[in-house]
Amino acid sequence: MAAIIPGLGPMELMICGFPLVILAIVLIAVNASKGKTPPQPSAPAGWLQDPTGRHQLRYWDGTRWTSAVSDNGTQSDDPV
């Protein structure tokens, strides 16, 4: 069997080509994800545990955390 590249046999080509295959896969994945918005959380709006840890509960409006917080049933505002 003749070498495709002089001095490199099939095994050398496979070893040298492996990083290129990985690079191609990574580039395809990166290009496929460009322009796509990240998946939106599926939690419905409501009072949930405050992700900042500063309060017991914080209101999730279905798309983002609001400044509305609650501690021991008392509501107040604390910007995220």
The pLDDT tens digits along the chain (80 residues) read 555 666 667 766 666 666 767 776 777 777 666 666 555 556 899 999 999 999 999 999 999 999 999 999 999 999 98
pLDDT of residue 2: 55
What is the distance between the alpha carbons of residues 72 and 53, in angstroms, rounded to a whole number? Answer: 14
- What pLDDT sits at residue 65? 95
Q: pTM score, two decimals?
A: 0.49
Q: Which residues contact 15 (CB under 8 A, 6 or more apart)?
A: none
- Specify the pLDDT at position 58: 96
Q: d(Cα 24, Cα 27) in Å, to the nearest integer?
A: 5
**Cβ-contact 79, 65 below 8 angstroms:** no
12 and 21 Cβ atoms separated by less than 8 Å? no
Which pLDDT score, from 0 to 100, does residue 80 have?
85
Alpha-carbon torsion, ordered 74, 49, 44, 40, to 10 deg: 130
Tokens at 10, concatenated: 């099939």
